Amino acid sequence: MRLPRQISGEQLASALNMLGYTVTRQTGSHLRLTCSTPSEHHITIPCHRFLRVGTLAAILSEVASFHGLNREELLGLLEEEIG
């Protein structure tokens, strides 16, 4: 599945909310999200207008790995939220 090209950091943070991630803090132009199920996991997302493809791929790979999914399965779950 192809990664979306026009997704912002805020859109990604909102989409990850369905997996239990919540914004715990913001420092400058970066959001820190935390998921506490099944254990605590932190990720940092830049609040840029459009995320670079490599940055998006790295974030999605990290989240997918934590939840025991591959990146395509995670994209399928988030597809409605991302648009």
The tens digit of pLDDT for each residue in 58-83 reads: 999 999 999 999 999 999 988 887 76
Distance CA 23, CA 4 (A): 22
pTM: 0.90
Please give the CATH number for the structural domain made up of 9-76: 3.30.920.30
Distance CA 29, CA 47 (A): 5
Give the start-to-end residue ranges of the domains of the chain: 9-76
How does DSSP classify residue 58?
A: H
Q: Work out the mean pLDDT of the chain and round it to a whole number.
A: 92
